[in-house]
Amino acid sequence: MIGKETVIELAQERINELKNDLFIVDINISSANNIQLFLDSESGKVSIQDCVSVSRNIEHNLDRDKEDFQLSVSSAGMDQPFKVHKQYIKNIGREVKVIFNEHGSQEGKIIAVDSEKVILEQETKEKIEGKKKKELVVNKYEIPFSDIKQTKLVISFK
């Protein structure tokens, strides 16, 4: 079986050569050597050429005579959960939905990220006592990464 570390090393080698802001999000290798590598970019754009270039470097450095494999290199989908810390940083200013390990969830805009937590901001209109109209209220939520089961972008077509 082809080792995950080998594939990561070959992919990272090409990413470093490209000198752009690509990073590896996830890699899956099945027992039948079906390799799936998912990339993302700090600027938000992973081109087909980026995927082809990384794929070719992996293919040319693995020996098909020793082990047969199938390789797929693609961008991480917008509808997929975040897998790495860099995805939180990349999406500062965007709406996300965080699902907690225990129960419940929280939606909001990422306003800050550090090594231990993500900070979300949520604007809602709420009835304020003594006022006739609802007013805009801004709430901030600090969520430790240890409490997060899954985070996804909220895709809106407004």
User: Per CATH, is 85-153 categorized as 1.10.10.60?
Assistant: no
Domain residue spans in the chain?
A: 4-75, 85-153
Kind of pairing between the strands at 34-41 and 22-29: antiparallel
**pLDDT band at residue 35 under the 50/70/90 scheme:** very high
User: What does the CA dihedral 98, 138, 43, 152 come to, rounded to 10 degrees?
Assistant: 10
Architecture of domain 4-75: 2-Layer Sandwich (3.30)
Based on the number of CB atoms within 10 Å of its own CB, is 54 exposed (0-12), middle (13-18) or buried (19 or more)? buried
* Reported pTM: 0.83
**pLDDT over 90 at 97, yes or no:** yes
For 46-83, what is each residue's pLDDT tens digit? Answer: 999 999 999 999 999 988 888 899 999 999 888 899 99
d(CA 128, CA 146): 34
